[in-house]
Amino acid sequence: MDSKQISESFNIITANSLSDSVSLERTVDSNLEYEYNNRCVLSKISSPSFNYMLYDDKYMKKENKENVFLEIPKYYDSDIDYESCFNVCYETAEKATNVVNILYQTFKDKSKIKYQNSFCWFFYHIGLFYMNVYANFKKENVKEKIEFYHNQIKAMQKIFPFIAMHYSKLYEEAKIEAYEAFLNDKIIFCPQGYF
């Protein structure tokens, strides 16, 4: 029995006992949360961590094994033009965001938008890129785009409930770490990739 059938049968059973449609929606959401946590293999995959402390000899002597340090090898520093690479990635992300935004704006009823399931992956990763820009380059103007992509993932929950819930949870945790890295200059937000 898939989650849509579970939700529909749940609606039939409980519709008479609940007068408010908002209460019904909350109940179905909590049922979906229960199904996700107890029956979905995706809920068992641990979330990656994105925050790294800058490497510091003084701090390393304390031998604090709880922190993960990010060390960029010296030969990368001279061989790669990070600014150019970043600008190409940023321009690509902006173009992709404009396309998604045009698509989003063409629908008057936003609840009728139906993306393919692979868009969860796309929305998650482009959102991670914007989190990287926000946290490490301190560009506050991309915060709206971070939230936009999270909303797009949440919108997919009606069609692909477990996949969307999984990516939404990962995204939420990444946002928390990105916002923390934004406030602390000693932390680098560094997505390591997922899937």
- Burial class of 191 by CB neighbour count within 10 A (0 to 12, 13 to 18, 19+): middle
pLDDT reported for residue 93: 94
- In this predicted structure, what is the pLDDT of residue 114? 83
The pLDDT value recorded for residue 52 is 72
The verdict on residue 173 lying in a domain is yes
Three-state secondary-structure class, residue 15: coil
114, part of any domain: yes
Asked whether residue 128 is domain-assigned, the answer is yes
Instruction: Tell me whether residue 29 is in a domain.
Output: no
Q: Does residue 8 form part of some domain?
A: no
- pLDDT on residue 107: 84
Q: How many CB atoms lie within 10 A of CB 158?
A: 14
* Calpha distance 186→136 (Å, rounded): 10
Structural domain boundaries, residue 171: 40-189
In a domain, 33, yes or no: no
Number of separate domains in the chain: 1
Q: Which of 9, 1, 50, 32 is nearest to 154 (CA)?
A: 32
The token duo for 40 is: 């979905």
- d(CA 42, CA 111) in angstroms, rounded, equals 25
pLDDT score for 87: 85
CB under 8 Å to 115, separation ≥6 — which residues? 152, 155, 156, 159
Tell me, yes or no, whether 25 lies in a domain: no
**Secondary structure (3-state) at 132:** helix
Is 20 contained in some domain?
no
The confidence score (pLDDT) of residue 69 equals: 55
Are the beta carbons of 31 and 10 closer than 8 angstroms?
A: yes
What phi and psi values does residue 132 have, to the nearest 5 degrees?
Answer: -60, -45
Looking at residue 187, what is its pLDDT?
82
Q: Which residues of the chain have pLDDT under 70?
A: 1-30, 41, 43, 51, 53-80, 192-195
Residue 64: CB atoms within 10 A of its CB come to: 10
Query: What is d(CA 150, CA 176) in angstroms, rounded to the nearest whole number?
Result: 12
